[in-house]
Amino acid sequence: MDKKRIIVTGGAGYIGSHTCVELINAGYTPIIIDNFFNSERFIVDRIEQITGLRPDLIEVDCTDYSGLMTLLKGYKGIEGIIHFAAYKAVGESTQKPVDYYYNNIASTTALLKLMNILGFNNFVFSSSCTVYGQPDELPVTENSPIKTAESPYGRTKQMCEDVMKDYQKANQDQKVVSLRYFNPIGAHSSSLIGELPRGVPNNLVPYITQTAAGLRDHLTVFGDDYDTPDGTCIRDYIHVVDLAKAHVAAIEYLIRQKNGIYNVFNLGTGRGNSVLEVIRTFEEVAGLKLNYKIGPRRSGDIVKVYADVAKANKDLEWETELDLKDALRDAWSWERSLKEN
Ligand code: UDP
């Protein structure tokens, strides 16, 4: 009963499930809130398999304020909320903008309302480097300008950050952080949890692993005529386990704060890798040749982005421990484990 409980919305999802594992490793008890809209129930079993602890599961939609209230008001000893649950497909958000605005903003506002009423504190929000758009200077620091979002998805992240800033201003005892993720990739080293893209993946690494596994014929590299050393776009790929550990560090950072605060942190490795570098590294760790072709540019792609992570390193007392090779090796093991099951 004296366990430190952390609510993890979207706790059965990709980053959420890895964060539950790291919370448990650090002595916390996650309470997963998930509606399994874009995640699978068996992931909760897998978290238990990895850690030996089964998180509580509350099945409710985070936009359902009264449902959340009913289910959470009995809980004691809540130390914080990590809010992952959100729609996240950039392309889909341009087709269904209102769904994205409604889901992502209603869930965040419902949770903030409830925090205040139930007397919870320490709110960690999943934001994204998409808020920086095409940056003018690299690496991107937390003070780099916020650019007009390229998609409704990106705009929901910007809007939620504004909502949290206003919330914290009006509720000075509250402690809130936004974590701006760069490109999370990889999987848990046990291959028991990992990314589960629905349908054709949009992101590079799941597309690579599915191509290598024979589920896709070939990977298309979206443009090799950019102004970069090899002509392909550059991103900051961070291992999902390092990212998960940053959430534990963020909760502990908030718990340490004596006064209310709103703060923002970049979470990346601080290094940029091109699409071709990712392909070459994958080929090396997987020991195979990937079938890929150079295709046209994808509209809206950022040419080059990577993080300055000095602020997270210092304030969160957190650093990445894994590199691109580790992440691609783990992503490949995960893909192969899916084929076996
Ligand atoms: N990319 C690619 N082929 C794919 C998917 C992605 O060449 O099938 C490239 C994409 O153009 C970008 C990088 O890989 O330069 C990362 O794309 P992803 O969608 O994973 O992340 P984001 O663009 O959102 O940072």
Q: Ligand 1 mean position to 307 CA, how many Å?
A: 17
- As given in the structure block, the two tokens for residue 239 are 């291992």
Q: How far apart are the first and last CA of the chain?
A: 36
Ligand 1 centroid to Cα of residue 104, in Å, is 23
244: Cβ contacts below 8 Å, ≥ 6 apart? 15, 18, 19, 21, 22
What tens digit of pLDDT does each residue of 168-182 get? 999 999 999 999 999
Binned at pLDDT 50, 70 and 90, residue 95 comes out as very high
Closest ligand 1 atom number to CA of residue 203 = 20
- The answer to whether the beta carbons of residues 297 and 231 sit under 8 Å apart is no
With a CB cutoff of 8 Å and minimum separation 6, the contacts of 103 are 63, 86, 87
In Å, what is the CA distance from 288 to each residue of 7, 63, 178, 209, 274?
41, 45, 39, 11, 19
Across-strand partners of 117?
A: none
For atom 20 of ligand 1, which residue has the closest CA?
Answer: 203
Evaluate: CB of 157 within 6 angstroms of ligand 1. no
pLDDT band for position 2 (cuts 50, 70, 90): low
The confidence band for 113, taking pLDDT boundaries of 50, 70 and 90, is very high
Q: What pairing do the DSSP bridges indicate for beta strands 237-239 and 123-128? A: unpaired
Per annotation, catalytic residue among 14, 87, 132, 153:
153
pLDDT tens digit sequence for 193-228: 999 999 999 999 999 999 999 999 999 999 999 999
Q: At 188, list the tokens.
A: 């848990």
Ligand 1 center from residue 204 Cα (angstroms): 5
Q: Whose CA is nearest to atom 3 of ligand 1?
A: 221
Q: How confident is the model at residue 116 (pLDDT cuts 50, 70, 90)?
A: confident
DSSP 252: H
Mean pLDDT across the chain, nearest whole number? 96
Q: At what angle do helices 275-286 and 324-340 cross, to 10 degrees?
A: 60
The tokens for 75 are: 């809980």
Atom of ligand 1 nearest to the CA of 234: 15
| Residue 169 Cβ contacting ligand 1 at under 6 Å | no
Radius of gyration of the chain (CA): 19
Q: Is 169 strand, coil or helix?
A: helix
Task: Answer yes or no: 153 catalytic.
Answer: yes
Which amino acid, one-letter code, is at 190? Answer: S
219 lines ligand 1 (CB under 6 A): yes
pLDDT in tens, 42-68: 999 999 999 999 999 999 999 999 999
Q: Minimal CA–CA distance to 195: which of 328, 52, 45, 96? A: 328
301 in contact with ligand 1, CB cutoff 6 A: yes
Under DSSP, is residue 80 helix (H, G, I), strand (E, B) or coil? strand
Amino acid, single-letter form, for residue 313: N
Opening angle at CA 256, ends 251 and 259, nearest 5 = 110
Closest listed residue to residue 236, CA positions, set 174, 304, 170, 150: 304
Measured distance CA(33)–CA(55) in Å, rounded: 10
DSSP 237: E
Euclidean distance between CA atoms 152 and 148, whole angstroms: 10
Q: Which of 203, 210, 299 to mutate to test the pocket of ligand 1 (most atoms within 8 A of CB)?
A: 203
243 neighbors 15 (Cβ within 8 angstroms): yes
- Rounded to the nearest angstrom, the distance between the alpha carbon of 143 and the centre of ligand 1 is 25
Q: Ligand 1 within 6 A of 298 CB?
A: yes
**pLDDT for 256-276, tens place per residue?**
999 999 999 999 999 999 999
